[in-house]
Structure 1
């Protein structure tokens, strides 16, 4: 499975409404206060595993990939849109408020997802929109309406920290990152227990396969 197909699944699942059980759905991210420190989250991370939902397709191979996290603010994102995007519409620009994080997914077709921090719930973000890095027209952007949460974990195995991205979608429950590639099922146990406690029953994690070579976007697609 190519990194782009997996990335599309990760992106697609974040644009579908949640169907989780009778939990506290009255608050974004179930009101969970994550262990989140912006300065510690910034930078490059590698996907090492994911926790699927029941509808996730059965795959023989799931490719690892790199994801970069950067921070901006509403003024910075509006300025970026004025540079990159032709005729940004009012619906999107009105949602650009507060602290913004950008996640850049490295694949054959790199794309960015911008998310806005939710006040009062640590690590919780509302996803705003996604745009391939080589696109300049706002009509190509995908509006996103769901929440995701970034949670830092150290499982005392000497391999951390781990960044757990909790998704409220239908195919993927969480994506697990490390600063370096590679992980074992044993090391994933504390993370699996954490997600289970937060969201209920979880499928076993799926460990990704290392890429033969790292995919770097062309120069014109880089920040």
Structure 2
């Protein structure tokens, strides 16, 4: 299962996300007394509430959490550190991603954090990246997150056509032991970069085995694309 949530929360903003939707504790127009008794709702499909670094359990987002998040965003990509490699392989790992409707048959490699504390990504256009320290193995009942390039070096990447994947279509992940896990696409949505919440994407949906696929999209502005295509899928078999 998911390893270090404090690393994911304090070090990630990752493949995609400099900004995040941070829930401030009270819906607009409501008072503290009206909202204090219950936990915040899951708005739409994904919203990151915040997770306690020690327990990994959902926790209220207070001013300290928001201040630390703001500090991370301001320092994002500026503070160098030692890259963190993926954990050693123990047993089976993900070997390949197949999306028949898009003609995708891509190898999957394992990644850790880069020298700026972000989720590392493939340095080619043909590989999909999996981060085993922050994302579950298919078949374990949790959430699996894969990222790949829209384009790389001026050529189409693995996920060049990801935005055309539609609800009801399927794809599969194959492990190094030959197990094949199939998933049903439930949504394909283009999010503005500032609206991406990596904590929510890595955590997935409670009580459901799922896969999230993500790539860049939109316009290339100031060295990056301004949107991210996010595909959500649920386990079929």
Q: Normalising by structure 2, what TM-score? A: 0.24
Q: Which has the larger radius of gyration?
A: 2
Q: Normalising by structure 1, what TM-score? A: 0.25
